[in-house]
Amino acid sequence: MIRNSLWKKVLARYLTIAFIPHHSSKPVKVHFSFSFLLVSLLFWFSLTVWAVTLAIRHLDYWGIRLNNLALKAKTAYFAQEVKKSQEKLDEVKEIDLQLRQLLEMKSKKAIIEQDEATGGPSTADQENLRKLLQGKIQEVNQKDVENNIFLLNRIIKERMESLREITEYVQEQRSIYRATPNIWPVEGRITSFYGSRAHPWAEGERDFHPGLDIAAEYGTPVRATASGIVKLAHWEGGYGKLVVIDHGHDFITLYAHNSRLAVTQGDRVKRGQVIAYIGATGATTGAHLHYEVRIDGNAANPLRYVKK
């Protein structure tokens, strides 16, 4: 009771604020109760809280709106980049197909008789394209962009794998080309061809000749017909001074009856490199080169592996 009466007395008190001018006018006095001051302060504090809350809400609204605008701008940018990447991938895909056809990784018959190519854009792709053409890039769905990026990455992986296969194929073909004899080992006159022939010493008999005999002047350079590694380089019975080169891919070439050897076992030689010189060593009737091509250990006709 006593505390309530004290509060009533305090609230019932009046305050006076006097405004005293510097000239001779009378001072202005304003009288108001203490309770009026408290109510005014409370109203001012509530108004301030309301204004700050409203300002924060507006800031949040504009922040979200700016974020949405930035997100739409990013989506539009990525949509354009995806479109450009898809165009580039289409070019890569076309080049990949042309390379495969050019390198005949599929047979000509398979290329000609293959089914007609089919495919086409999805409904979402068509809708995104419509928006892009109408200038409504900001309306392109972000989820669709993400899906396109995912598909784009998958296609890129497939194209890279395809190009890797082509690269390996080209490297393999280059390796086969290097290993395949395709030049004359020496310039001269063929005195004995591959196949059945009259025996050079046994009159009236025939034997099988596994290579070519090419007559040339004594000391004429003999050249490797393909790149490879020297497997043998020494005297070998009736072959005389012999060079054998392993070219890989089951190709081996033999060069016999040489007067002098220019390589040793284990040397790596290139196509056209001088490996020996014409002679008449071993079982021979005169200066010439006995030249053989063997595939998987079997003799083959060397004329199939020289430039016509």
42 and 78 fall within a common domain: no
> Is 58 within a domain?
yes
Q: Are residues 31 and 87 in the same domain?
A: no
**Dist CA 263 CA 269 (whole Å):** 9
Residue 274 lies in a domain: yes
Residues 51 and 109 in one domain: no
Q: For the chain, how many structural domains are there in total?
A: 3
Q: What is the pLDDT of residue 105?
A: 54
Residues 133 and 169 grouped into a single domain: yes
> How many C-alpha atoms does 296 have within 13 Å on its Cβ side?
0
Predicted confidence at residue 109, as pLDDT, reads 43
Quick check: is 77 in a domain? yes
32 phi and psi, to 5 degrees?
Answer: -155, 155
pLDDT number for residue 117: 43
Taking the C-alpha atoms of residue 130 and residue 141, their distance in angstroms, rounded to an integer, is 12
- The verdict on residue 50 lying in a domain is yes
Tell whether 8 and 81 lie within a shared domain: no
Residue at 12 is within a domain: yes
Distances (CA, A) of 233 to 23, 70, 159, 173, 298: 130, 76, 47, 28, 20
User: Does residue 214 contact residue 279 with C-beta atoms inside 8 Å?
Assistant: no
Give the number of other Cβ atoms within 10 Å of residue 45's Cβ.
Answer: 10
Are 270 and 260 within one domain? yes
Q: What is the mean pLDDT of each run of 10 residues along the chain (308 residues)?
A: 62 67 69 68 78 73 69 65 69 70 54 44 54 50 65 73 77 86 94 81 74 95 96 95 95 96 96 96 92 95 86
Residue 279 is classified by DSSP as B
pLDDT at position 2 is: 59
175 and 76 assigned to the same domain: yes
pLDDT at 101: 66
Same domain as 99, residue 66: no
**232 and 158 assigned to the same domain:** no
CB 179 within 8 A of CB 167: no
pLDDT at 40: 74
Residue 225 inside a domain? The answer is yes
- Counting Cα atoms < 13 Å in the Cβ hemisphere of 282 gives 21
For 281, the domain range is: 189-195+207-305
Rounded Cα–Cα distance for residues 183 and 160 (Å): 37
CA distance 306 to 301: 10
Supply the pLDDT for residue 236: 93
pLDDT of residue 53: 78
| Pair (99, 173) in one structural domain | yes
> 241: alpha, beta or left, given left = phi > 0 and alpha = psi -120 to 50?
beta
Question: Do 296 and 222 share a structural domain?
Answer: yes
Record the tokens describing residue 101, joined without a space.
Answer: 């056809």
Same-domain status, 45 and 137 = no
CA terminus-to-terminus distance, the chain: 131
Q: What amino acid is encoded at 281 in this protein?
A: T
201 in a domain, yes or no? no
Output the domain CATH number for residue 297.
2.70.70.10
Q: Which of 37, 53, 70 marks a domain boundary?
A: 70
Whole-angstrom distance, CA of residue 256 vs CA of residue 243 = 7
Helix, strand, coil shares of the chain, percent, nearest 5, are: 45, 25, 30
Domain presence at residue 262:
yes
